[in-house]
Amino acid sequence: MGKNRIKKHNKKLGKPPGSVIYTGNKSSKKLFIEAFDYNVERCNEKELTTIEEAFNFKGSDSVTWININGLNHVEEIEKLGNHFNLHPLVLEDIVSISQRPKIDEHEDYLFVVVKMLYHANDESIVAEQVSFVLGKGYVLSFQESEGDVFDAVRERIRQGKGRARSMQADYLLYILMDAIVDHYFTIIETLGEKIEDYEDAIFSGHVGKTINKDIQDLKREILRVRRAIFPLREVINRIEKHESPLILKKTKTFYRDIYDHLIQVSENIDIYREMIWSLMDMYMTTISNKMNEVMKVLTIMASIFIPLTFIAGIYGMNFDYIPELHYKNGYYILWCVMIAMFLGMLYYFKRKKWL
Amino acid sequence: MGKNRIKKHNKKLGKPPGSVIYTGNKSSKKLFIEAFDYNVERCNEKELTTIEEAFNFKGSDSVTWININGLNHVEEIEKLGNHFNLHPLVLEDIVSISQRPKIDEHEDYLFVVVKMLYHANDESIVAEQVSFVLGKGYVLSFQESEGDVFDAVRERIRQGKGRARSMQADYLLYILMDAIVDHYFTIIETLGEKIEDYEDAIFSGHVGKTINKDIQDLKREILRVRRAIFPLREVINRIEKHESPLILKKTKTFYRDIYDHLIQVSENIDIYREMIWSLMDMYMTTISNKMNEVMKVLTIMASIFIPLTFIAGIYGMNFDYIPELHYKNGYYILWCVMIAMFLGMLYYFKRKKWL
Amino acid sequence: MGKNRIKKHNKKLGKPPGSVIYTGNKSSKKLFIEAFDYNVERCNEKELTTIEEAFNFKGSDSVTWININGLNHVEEIEKLGNHFNLHPLVLEDIVSISQRPKIDEHEDYLFVVVKMLYHANDESIVAEQVSFVLGKGYVLSFQESEGDVFDAVRERIRQGKGRARSMQADYLLYILMDAIVDHYFTIIETLGEKIEDYEDAIFSGHVGKTINKDIQDLKREILRVRRAIFPLREVINRIEKHESPLILKKTKTFYRDIYDHLIQVSENIDIYREMIWSLMDMYMTTISNKMNEVMKVLTIMASIFIPLTFIAGIYGMNFDYIPELHYKNGYYILWCVMIAMFLGMLYYFKRKKWL
Amino acid sequence: MGKNRIKKHNKKLGKPPGSVIYTGNKSSKKLFIEAFDYNVERCNEKELTTIEEAFNFKGSDSVTWININGLNHVEEIEKLGNHFNLHPLVLEDIVSISQRPKIDEHEDYLFVVVKMLYHANDESIVAEQVSFVLGKGYVLSFQESEGDVFDAVRERIRQGKGRARSMQADYLLYILMDAIVDHYFTIIETLGEKIEDYEDAIFSGHVGKTINKDIQDLKREILRVRRAIFPLREVINRIEKHESPLILKKTKTFYRDIYDHLIQVSENIDIYREMIWSLMDMYMTTISNKMNEVMKVLTIMASIFIPLTFIAGIYGMNFDYIPELHYKNGYYILWCVMIAMFLGMLYYFKRKKWL
Amino acid sequence: MGKNRIKKHNKKLGKPPGSVIYTGNKSSKKLFIEAFDYNVERCNEKELTTIEEAFNFKGSDSVTWININGLNHVEEIEKLGNHFNLHPLVLEDIVSISQRPKIDEHEDYLFVVVKMLYHANDESIVAEQVSFVLGKGYVLSFQESEGDVFDAVRERIRQGKGRARSMQADYLLYILMDAIVDHYFTIIETLGEKIEDYEDAIFSGHVGKTINKDIQDLKREILRVRRAIFPLREVINRIEKHESPLILKKTKTFYRDIYDHLIQVSENIDIYREMIWSLMDMYMTTISNKMNEVMKVLTIMASIFIPLTFIAGIYGMNFDYIPELHYKNGYYILWCVMIAMFLGMLYYFKRKKWL
Ligand SMILES: [Mg+2]
Ligand SMILES: [Mg+2]
Ligand SMILES: [Mg+2]
Ligand SMILES: [Mg+2]
Ligand SMILES: [Mg+2]
Ligand SMILES: [Mg+2]
Ligand SMILES: [Mg+2]
Ligand SMILES: [Mg+2]
Ligand SMILES: [Mg+2]
Ligand SMILES: [Mg+2]
Ligand SMILES: [Mg+2]
Ligand SMILES: [Mg+2]
Ligand SMILES: [Mg+2]
Ligand SMILES: [Mg+2]
Ligand SMILES: [Mg+2]
Ligand SMILES: [Mg+2]
Ligand SMILES: [Mg+2]
Ligand SMILES: [Mg+2]
Ligand SMILES: [Mg+2]
Ligand SMILES: [Mg+2]
Ligand SMILES: [Mg+2]
Ligand SMILES: [Mg+2]
Ligand SMILES: [Mg+2]
Ligand SMILES: [Mg+2]
Ligand SMILES: [Mg+2]
Ligand SMILES: [Mg+2]
Ligand SMILES: [Mg+2]
Ligand SMILES: [Mg+2]
Ligand SMILES: [Mg+2]
Ligand SMILES: [Mg+2]
Ligand SMILES: [Mg+2]
């Protein structure tokens, strides 16, 4: 997630404002456009092959969701934007994928930027930018590439059970955002488990060589997830307070529910943040404890054998007259003395709880 | 407390909003419903066998408390909710047990979510979610399973002494929440004692092998208790400012009293939080002090005996001509020299305060 | 201060709200009631033997101060409370000695809870709860036991010099609270000195064995003093903004003066808090420096004598043919070599600044 | 950046307010003045040789940008200021290059101070102060010396494509500030890379000798970049809320876009700040791990050879009677014993995972 | 600065409010009063010998500055205060030198307390309290003792150049406070240099023995300077918003300029605060690095010579039959083996980068 985030901005250095320039990795992602047009009685689902097919949905009485995938297709996005009267800066934001979550309240539409978080195949966290435009009777959504967390939403619209098809476009925007926020729980759960794994690893002493880099990376990841999620609370708040026919009063209760979820996620993130900050301290004490272990072994070995070696050295001296050397049981007596010293030292270290 | 909290949410991934799905561990907890119906003169207490029995209490003049235990019985809860006109999102929240404390002010009822904290048999802290619905003349309470901190409340209602039976449903909600908050003091008292136990253990050096994991776990526990308690302050605040006949002016003074208690609890938690954060530092200095101890022993032993061993080595050499070896009292003189060196070193370490 | 603070609350678990239960240590402290009744011309001072004697002062034109000591005498306090129309929750708070400083604005009286800090005989800090009720023409004060910081106030009232007797009851409350706040300076001065003592001790290396526990305890003490003092700022603020005949405009300037003092005290406490938090770091560097000292001694001794011992060992070998052993001055030459090595090592360590 | 920042202020000690004194390094930077005067149809670009040439542009209908480089030319700046009716304190601020970003709203002009950040040739970050005066139909900009980030802006004005020449002076100020803010991304990207470089260096163990000073310097740099950027958010906010014909409503949307960018930059800076704060901890664990390595080698060597040496010492003693010395295979048996001890120690250390 | 600050308060324990008691060190500082009385045309400068001489200036049309030095002369200050109708609490504050910066808005005068920071002869920072009273046509200033930062102000008034003599008393207060704030830059510049000096010392390893105490002291100093400066921002803010003829609208722009300066100073202080907090970490890594150095020397010496000594010990044994001893070149072969081992160890340590 994000190491190359900031660089993306450089492509736009010196460009006039409102320049619609895709800041992601230029790849030949194909453009994929799908449209849902429904009311309480029917639901038309269709894959569009040209962007112009989307133009007719604008004035219809039914609710329309046009989902555009492939932000590298800037010309099509500009065409759509012009047809729907979007401000040039809005179009610029749609394809600038380093936006933070935000809401811009324009006269006849709302523009909302959200981060959709999910795990990539290599278990890293991907933060795909999803932009929504909520107008009268329609929701436009823009994703960097195909693939999202909206499958359950599609199914509910198709089947038309419950509230899904009997409400307006503001409710459609709600269920899309709700699907994204519901996914946040999966993401942070994994973060929490990682922290606990590290705790267990450090505690049991089975730490890999990369542990301090891993912790540093996890800190960064938590800070970035935080940045992707926290500003969304203010976005939802602004939707709740928005005064225009675009957001109906009865739908606001549902947005309130997203807000509750965001607060839950945020609190968990902040707990994780505090926990990981003290992981390093925990690691440090573990290292120090190990060093203590090492030092004790050294000290015990040295303290026991250095004096004994000294005594052996004494009786290895070549003085003409060393009376002990000629004692009858001198050698055995010395062994007794040395064993006594040995046991004395053992007792001393035992009492000190070093053994 | 809570390690498996977040996972519970996943059961709802992709479900439409307002889906009443129990997010706890599916167990066959039996449904237990009790009802109190009272006014100043009389009190009927009854265990209900079907949820339909609860329906009649809705319109009564007396004050009714219906206490539902067993959130896995979602159909019954939905039935009750429909009879009492509860919003689908309210029903969803009642059985989603990872809610944070909150209040939702609906037109003809208040919905309050609270965490009831108590110690499980294994001394861990359990945070059971309790939801309250306060309507005209009734309080509904929803608990995950039987067993709570309301026994004293029941007794007071039965006996009808004091204010208990002469006030309205808003006062009933108050005494229920007050019972929960009063219990928080017991919980945090235990936390405070644990911290002091760890301090004593670290100070006296009698730390178990798991001390740094234990501290890390206690940090997490404090952060989670904090999260269960802190949002409740805002809930009470909102009740105090609530303007509708559901909350009478004279009852607000009592809610203010709960608020005072919550602030007291919160301040204690934040003190504990700061204290435990410095426990690790305290532990670190203890380890370092021990290593100093170990190093001193090694240094003293080595510094004393290595030079002496060197001297013994000198006179163990086989040079043809080493005059000292032939001195008459060479051996004794050497002993004197070595004892002098020994004492000199002892004096040196004594003066350095290492001994 | 306060280790057994929280436990006191447990006595009230399950009791109905407004239960007037003394939460301190049940002791047979005698009830001591004193009354001052004065106006600009005269001053009656009297010790009351029954609580009923206090009832007459309620309607008098003069200013009355009734000072009740002995919170274990709950019946008398309830009698007085009923006579002065105090709310049951106020009476409960008066005898619940773990209140945080607060103000409750009732219709015809103000209820203020303050912590009176002073040093006990063993130099620990005592936080005695003092509650004030300010009504029309009277101030009631409630203390846990006899003994307070009001002697100078009593003297000023007796002598009637200055403003003391010419102002109303709001001014009486002011000078009582001012006396308490003035005492805070003495308390925090001692805390500041303790920190500097620890700094000096750590710096000079003369630390007791309990230093890290001492620091931890001082942290806790500072956090608790903070908690006793900080909420009082809000209390004074509310008095300044209070709109009723109980607080005259000209008296508010004086309350503003208390506020200034509280800010001064608060700032000092927060400086102490930051200072003590870095004491542990300072201690840690001291330990590490000492270990460095120890290690240097060991390294120097070992580095000098281990090679020399090796050389002695060489010439202690019993090979048939070791030419040096038969050199004429072999022994003396070896001594020269060894002294040269010794001096070389000394020079090396000198240059490394280890000596 | 900035080490000599504060000193610059001293030149003004004791000077009256409104003294126009250049606080940078007095150098003989030449004065360079360029002027753009344009409307939707034409664009005059011109280098001015005297400041008086700039006076005529004041009343023109077209939009004028006068860009003054060389803040040491205080007399010319004062002349210009007097002609354009600038407040003496504004002139003082223009040439006092240690201003923080700010906006002063005067009656007929806005005064804005911004920090233009770019990399100097030695890769250090330069924060050049740029002051803007936005009046009716003109923008004055003041830079310390020639060279800026406005080249793309100049090109757009010359070519007159897009909005550049069809909007008013408020839009001109916008594109100038936008160019500066776009450059911030480049700056913080470099900071982020530096942190990651340090992480990699510490992790791989290839740290230079200056690593802790480098980290300290980077901390300082991040704090200073933060200080240059953060106050600008408030400046833009005030422009958005400014009510006068100087700022047209339709331009405010564009300023909002700058605000979004600033928030993005700010969040990145704060993440970097947290990351670098834990770099030192990471470094500390690396050092401790290395010491553990060193200690293990020592302990293993000593633990293996010290006992063996002791045994050799035993049989080097000169006692008259040591039976083992006369065993037939005594020497070989001893070698076996010693090799067994050696292998035993190796096994012990292997099991302890020290090898 | 400040170690004995808090103690000063104790002198007032038990004194009635409004007691004018000097809380500084009772010294026989002489009273020094100077008066400036000026308008745009003339300027009278005069040293007053009695306080009564100051009384006449009260009603004059010209602007008057009366500067009283010597707060121990409380009677004179009380006389002056009574003549100018100052509130007793104001007089108390003037001579209580532990006030924090503040403003009290009275009906016909403003009372402002400021800390004048300058370096004492021993380079420590002195915080002298300066109180100002701004009334109609006059400014009173009170200093603890003679000597201040106002000399440039005096000179400007005498010479009457610029705005100095053509403005009202509010402008006089401004230039006095401006002179004090300008001096703050000098103070914090010194603090910044001290931090960088410590960084350099720690980095280069040339730290004095007192380094950790020095850092602790510097922390305290920064916290105290912070406390002296930060509240002044609020004071200036209140002056800007003050609505009365005492502060003219055109002067407020000038106070805004002080505010800008205070924000600059404050930001620098907070950067210093963060920098010094990480100095200790930097010191800690330095110590650990040094210990690593020491340990490496020990380990290398021991690892090389202990095995060699063991081998020498082997051939010093007195077994009857040790074949190697009788090899022809046994001694030389052994040397070769030992040199090979020596080189092998060197290579090993070289590869480990320990050499
Ligand atoms: Mg990055
Ligand atoms: Mg741009
Ligand atoms: Mg944008
Ligand atoms: Mg996608
Ligand atoms: Mg949801
Ligand atoms: Mg919900
Ligand atoms: Mg978890
Ligand atoms: Mg859902
Ligand atoms: Mg239960
Ligand atoms: Mg309670
Ligand atoms: Mg919880
Ligand atoms: Mg209470
Ligand atoms: Mg720490
Ligand atoms: Mg406690
Ligand atoms: Mg209770
Ligand atoms: Mg008392
Ligand atoms: Mg006072
Ligand atoms: Mg600086
Ligand atoms: Mg000046
Ligand atoms: Mg200025
Ligand atoms: Mg430039
Ligand atoms: Mg831009
Ligand atoms: Mg740390
Ligand atoms: Mg540390
Ligand atoms: Mg102090
Ligand atoms: Mg006083
Ligand atoms: Mg005062
Ligand atoms: Mg002075
Ligand atoms: Mg100034
Ligand atoms: Mg101060
Ligand atoms: Mg630290």
Q: What is the CATH number of the domain that holds E325?
A: 1.20.58.340
* C-alpha B37 chain-centroid distance: 35
Q: Which of C104, C294, C315 sits opposite B319 (nearest CB)?
A: C315
Question: For residues A113 and A89, what is the distance between their CA atoms, to the nearest angstrom?
Answer: 13
Shortest CA distance to C33 belongs to which of C153, C138, C145, C111? C145
How far apart are the CA of D21 and the nearest CA of chain A, in angstroms? 34
CB A202 within 8 A of CB A282: yes
Residue for token pair 């003369």: C206
Contact: D10, E299; criterion CB under 8 Å: no
Q: Which whole-number Å values give the CA distances from B78 to A49, A261, B51, B52, B69, in the listed order?
A: 45, 22, 10, 11, 14
Stretch 95-134 of chain C: residues touching chain B, C-beta under 8 Å:
98-100, 102, 104
Q: Are residues A90 and A144 in the same domain?
A: yes
Residue D148, SS3? coil
Residues in chain D with CB shorter than 8 Å from the CB of A89 are 253-254, 257
Q: Are residues B255 and B339 in the same domain?
A: no
Shortest CA distance to B242 belongs to which of B108, B113, B75? B108
pLDDT higher than threshold 50 for residue C6: no
Q: Are residues D244 and D319 in the same domain?
A: no
How far apart are the CA of C319 and the nearest CA of chain B, in angstroms? 10
Q: Are residues B165 and B212 in the same domain?
A: yes
Q: Compute the radius of gyration of chain C from its Cα atoms.
A: 34
Question: For residues A294 and A288, what is the distance between their CA atoms, to the nearest angstrom?
Answer: 10
Mean pLDDT of chain C: 91
> Tell me, what CATH number does E240's domain have?
3.30.460.20
Q: Which of B216, B280, B318 sits opposite A318 (nearest CB)?
A: B318
* Average of per-residue pLDDT across E178-196: 94
Q: Which residues contact D173 (CB under 8 A, 6 or more apart)?
A: D110, D112, D132, D134, D139
Of A285, A304, A333, which one is at a domain's C-terminal end?
Answer: A285
Q: C102: part of which helix (H) or strand (E)?
A: strand C102-105
Q: Are residues B14 and B102 in the same domain?
A: yes
Q: Are residues D277 and D312 in the same domain?
A: no
Q: Which residues contact C77 (CB under 8 A, 6 or more apart)?
A: C20, C51, C68, C71, C91, C94, C95, C142
pLDDT at A218: 94
At E235, which amino acid appears?
V
Mean pLDDT of chain E: 91
pLDDT at E10: 65
Q: Are residues E121 and E220 in the same domain?
A: yes
Residues in chain C with CB shorter than 8 Å from the CB of E284 are 281, 284-285, 288
**Can you give the pLDDT of all 355 residues of chain A as single tens digits?**
444 444 455 677 778 888 888 888 766 788 999 999 999 999 999 999 999 999 988 878 899 999 999 999 999 999 999 999 999 999 999 999 889 999 999 999 999 999 999 998 888 899 999 999 999 999 999 999 888 999 999 999 999 877 889 999 999 999 999 999 999 999 999 999 999 999 999 998 888 888 989 999 999 999 999 999 999 999 999 999 999 999 999 999 999 999 999 999 999 999 999 999 989 999 999 999 999 999 999 999 999 999 999 999 999 999 999 999 999 999 999 999 999 999 999 999 999 988 8
Residue for token pair 């990376």: A217
pLDDT higher than threshold 50 for residue D5: no
CB D52 within 8 A of CB D79: yes
| Residue D4 binned pLDDT confidence (cut-offs 50, 70, 90) | very low
Question: For residues C171 and B124, what is the distance between their CA atoms, to the nearest angstrom?
Answer: 52
Q: Which whole-number Å values give the CA distances from C26 to A42, B185, C3, C22, in the listed order?
A: 76, 20, 17, 8
Beta-ladder partners of D142: D68, D131
Per-residue model confidence as pLDDT tens digits over D213-222? 999 999 999 9
Q: Are residues C127 and C65 in the same domain?
A: yes
| Residue C194 binned pLDDT confidence (cut-offs 50, 70, 90) | very high
Q: Which whole-number Å values give the CA distances from D136 to D61, D109, D184, in the listed order?
A: 9, 7, 29
* Average of per-residue pLDDT across D19-29: 79
Per-residue model confidence as pLDDT tens digits over D37-81? 999 999 999 999 999 999 988 877 899 999 999 999 999 999 999
- For the record, the structure tokens of C353 come out as 């600044």
Contact: C331, B316; criterion CB under 8 Å: no
Please measure the distance between the N-terminal and C-terminal CA atoms of chain C and give it in whole angstroms. Answer: 48
Interface test with chain C among E9, E93, E339, by most C beta carbons within 10 Å = E9
At B199, which amino acid appears?
E
Mean pLDDT of chain B: 91
- For the record, the structure tokens of B355 come out as 């001994």
Structural domains of chain D, count:
2
| Residue E61 binned pLDDT confidence (cut-offs 50, 70, 90) | confident
Q: E66: part of which helix (H) or strand (E)?
A: strand E63-69
| Dihedral sign, Cα of residue B163, residue B164, residue B166, residue B167 | positive
pLDDT higher than threshold 90 for residue D17: no
Structure ipTM: 0.88
DSSP string, D159-198: HT-TTTTTS-HHHHHHHHHHHHHHHHHHHHHHHHHHHHHH
Q: D211-241 vs E249-314: helix axis angle to the nearest 10?
A: 160
Nearest 5 degrees, angle CA E209-CA E213-CA E217? 140
Residue B2, SS3? coil
Strand order in the sheet with C125-135: C43-48, C32-38, C63-69, C138-143, C125-135, C109-119, C102-105
Higher pLDDT, C26 or A348: A348
pLDDT higher than threshold 50 for residue D136: yes
How far apart are the CA of C113 and the nearest CA of chain E, in angstroms? 21
Residues in chain B with CB shorter than 8 Å from the CB of C290 are 292
pLDDT at E233: 96
| Residue B162 binned pLDDT confidence (cut-offs 50, 70, 90) | confident
How far apart are the CA of B4 and the nearest CA of chain C, in angstroms? 30
Range of the domain at E206: 2-285
Per-residue buried b or exposed e for B320-344, using 16+ beta carbons within 10 Å of the residue's own CB: eebebbeeeebbeebeeebeeeeee
CB B265 within 8 A of CB B185: yes
Per-residue model confidence as pLDDT tens digits over B175-202? 999 999 999 999 999 999 999 999 999 9
pLDDT at B147: 86
Higher pLDDT, B205 or C106: C106
* Average of per-residue pLDDT across B102-129: 93
Question: For residues C244 and C109, what is the distance between their CA atoms, to the nearest angstrom?
Answer: 10
* Average of per-residue pLDDT across D147-151: 91
SS3 content of chain E, % helix, strand, coil (to 5): 55, 15, 30
At C119, which amino acid appears?
H
* Average of per-residue pLDDT across C59-86: 93
pLDDT at E22: 85
pLDDT at E243: 92
Residues in chain D with CB shorter than 8 Å from the CB of E268 are 6
Residues in chain D with CB shorter than 8 Å from the CB of A18 are 162-163
Q: Are residues D210 and D309 in the same domain?
A: no
- For the record, the structure tokens of E108 come out as 């016909």
Question: How far apart are the CA of E286 and the centre of ligand 13, in A?
Answer: 16
Contact: A282, B334; criterion CB under 8 Å: no
| Residue B122 binned pLDDT confidence (cut-offs 50, 70, 90) | confident
Residue for token pair 């919003």: B87
Residue for token pair 């019946």: C75
Of A269, A285, A301, which one is at a domain's C-terminal end?
Answer: A285
Q: Which residues contact A311 (CB under 8 A, 6 or more apart)?
A: A334, A337, A338, A341
Which residues crowd ion ligand 15, with CB under 5 Å?
B 178, 182
CB E235 within 8 A of CB E102: yes
Shortest CA distance to A70 belongs to which of A114, A36, A110, A24? A24
Beta-ladder partners of E270: none
Residues in chain A with CB shorter than 8 Å from the CB of B9 are 182, 185
pLDDT at C9: 56
* Average of per-residue pLDDT across C250-264: 95
pLDDT at D27: 67
The torsion of the CA quartet A270, A275, A279, A285, rounded to 10 degrees, works out to: 140
Nearest CA in chain E to C165: E16
Question: For residues E226 and A11, what is the distance between their CA atoms, to the nearest angstrom?
Answer: 43
- For the record, the structure tokens of A91 come out as 């179009």
Question: For residues A221 and A227, what is the distance between their CA atoms, to the nearest angstrom?
Answer: 10
| Residue D273 binned pLDDT confidence (cut-offs 50, 70, 90) | very high
Beta-ladder partners of B111: B104, B133
Residue for token pair 């002009």: D109
Q: Could you tell me if E224 lies within 8 Å of chain C, comparing CB atoms? A: yes
* Average of per-residue pLDDT across B315-326: 94
Question: For residues E7 and E10, what is the distance between their CA atoms, to the nearest angstrom?
Answer: 6
CB B269 within 8 A of CB B229: yes
Q: Which whole-number Å values give the CA distances from A219 to A123, A215, B276, D270, in the listed order?
A: 16, 6, 21, 13
Instruction: Report the percentage of chain D scoring pLDDT > 70.
Output: 97
Q: Are residues E15 and E77 in the same domain?
A: yes
pLDDT higher than threshold 60 for residue D7: no
Question: For residues B56 and A46, what is the distance between their CA atoms, to the nearest angstrom?
Answer: 51
Shortest CA distance to E222 belongs to which of E184, E250, E246, E188? E188
Bridge-based pairing state of the strands C32-38 and A110-119: unpaired
* C-alpha E86 chain-centroid distance: 32
Of B240, B270, B285, which one is at a domain's C-terminal end?
Answer: B285
Q: Which ligand is nearest to the CA of A194?
A: 7
Question: How far apart are the CA of B10 and the centre of ligand 5, in A?
Answer: 10
* Average of per-residue pLDDT across E316-342: 94
pLDDT at D1: 47
Nearest CA in chain B to A270: B223
Interface test with chain B among A163, A296, A318, by most B beta carbons within 10 Å = A318
Q: Are residues A259 and A309 in the same domain?
A: no
Q: D211-241 vs D169-204: helix axis angle to the nearest 10?
A: 160
Q: Are residues E109 and E212 in the same domain?
A: yes
Q: Could you tell me if C346 lies within 8 Å of chain B, comparing CB atoms? A: no
pLDDT at D18: 82
User: DSSP character for B240?
Assistant: H
pLDDT at E24: 82
Bridge-based pairing state of the strands B138-143 and B63-69: parallel
Contact: E284, D284; criterion CB under 8 Å: yes
Q: Which ligand is nearest to the CA of C16?
A: 15
Question: For residues A197 and A211, what is the distance between their CA atoms, to the nearest angstrom?
Answer: 11
* Average of per-residue pLDDT across C1-24: 68
The dihedrals phi and psi of D245, each to the nearest 5 degrees, come to -65, -10
Q: B138: part of which helix (H) or strand (E)?
A: strand B138-143
